Structure 1
Amino acid sequence: MSRSFASFREFYPFYLGEHSNTVCRRLHYLGSSLALVCLATAVVTGNAWWALGALFCGYGFAWVGHFFFEKNRPATFSHPLYSFAGDWVMLRDMLIGRIRF
């Protein structure tokens, strides 16, 4: 059963709870970082295929983390927009040291 959230602020603690496994968080970090590299490459080269690579990197690494290490269902399936935002907020929080990875 899918939970309902009134705001992203309410959703984010739930999102972090779904990422308690260190390997899962590291895979998210890697996938999000590679997605940014792919997007930058798409812009610089003008080749839109790199944008597709960004999707595969971002979601591919994250889903491997969830299915094999976290052993849960990615929030993307029930809360796609909040989950997408959560990926980037969590990446920022990891980069500034707020979350260990």
Structure 2
Amino acid sequence: MMNFRNFDDFWAFYMSQHSNPCTRRWHFAGTLSGIIISIYSLLFNWRFFVLAPLVGYGFAWYSHFFVEKNVPATFGHPIWSFYCDFKMFGLILTARLDGEIKRLGKRPVLHSF
């Protein structure tokens, strides 16, 4: 498992693992689906709550295995990865992700966990 000095270092790594725009779209769809399922389960039937992480992570992990062809960051750093999923979701939703990618620029990519 890789160690990071702080969240900013992990964020740069996280974004390097989501370099393909298609991967980011799958993540967005998974996070949005997870949010919708969570809201539905809170309002109507709590039993559906178990589907939220299954669907959310299912979309994301599919994109890593079949689109990006790397290992999901969740496997090594589940809490920071969860936070980054929502940060990326918010940046996509507010059309600021391209600016963030430019801000991060080209950084060394670390591949092992």
- What is the TM-score with the length of structure 1 in the denominator? 0.91
**Helix, strand or coil at the partner of 1:19:** coil
Moved beyond 6 Å, runs of 4+:
none
Q: Once the 2 structures are TM-superposed, how far is the Cα of residue 77 of structure 1 from its aligned partner?
A: 0.5
Alpha-carbon distance between aligned partners in 1 of 2:12 and 2:47, rounded to the nearest angstrom: 34
1:4 matched residue in structure 2? 3
1:88 matched residue in structure 2? 86
Aligned identity (percent) is: 39
Alpha-carbon distance between aligned partners in 2 of 1:3 and 1:98, rounded to the nearest angstrom: 28
Radius of gyration: which is bigger? Answer: 2
Alpha-carbon distance between aligned partners in 1 of 2:82 and 2:70, rounded to the nearest angstrom: 17
2:56 matched residue in structure 1? 58
**Helix, strand or coil at the partner of 1:6:** coil
- What is the TM-score with the length of structure 2 in the denominator? 0.82
Q: Once the 2 structures are TM-superposed, how far is the Cα of residue 48 of structure 1 from its aligned partner?
A: 2.3
1:18 matched residue in structure 2? 17
Alpha-carbon distance between aligned partners in 1 of 2:91 and 2:10, rounded to the nearest angstrom: 15
Q: Once the 2 structures are TM-superposed, how far is the Cα of residue 49 of structure 1 from its aligned partner?
A: 2.2
Alpha-carbon distance between aligned partners in 2 of 1:8 and 1:93, rounded to the nearest angstrom: 16
Amino acid in the other structure paired with 2:30: G
Amino acid in the other structure paired with 1:65: S
Alpha-carbon distance between aligned partners in 2 of 1:48 and 1:71, rounded to the nearest angstrom: 34
Number of residue equivalences: 98
Q: Once the 2 structures are TM-superposed, how far is the Cα of residue 57 of structure 1 from its aligned partner?
A: 1.3
Structure 2 gap ranges (5+): 99-113
Aligned-residue Cα RMSD (Å) equals: 1.0
Amino acid in the other structure paired with 1:64: Y
